[in-house]
Structure 1
């Protein structure tokens, strides 16, 4: 009886450790996914802000038609 209790105790501890390691791995993967998603959104916002800033500075003038007027 003592031996069976010992084996179940070892099994329970092993399952608990394996579960904790699995939880850490899943947490790390979710964290990486969120970081990449946020980085992508930040890049898009920076590109949008850069275009807006360039338009305001006149670095990207609007296209013109053949008569020299603005096409917009």
Structure 2
């Protein structure tokens, strides 16, 4: 998939663990883990906005486009 999710990188920089972020964003640990491990096929804008709010970042910090060769 050409969209790479860098949630794990941003979480590490901010020193936030999965369960505390899941609680603050109101998402299950398993769904956040799927997103963190780049296995998600989609993300709701409301979820993306909540993650950005809690991590004090921009969507571009979390998402990256990689060309397929």
TM-score band, normalised by shorter chain: under 0.3
Q: TM-score, normalised to structure 2's length? A: 0.22
Which of the two has higher C-alpha Rg?
A: 1
Q: Which has the higher strand share?
A: 2
Q: Which has the higher helix share?
A: 1
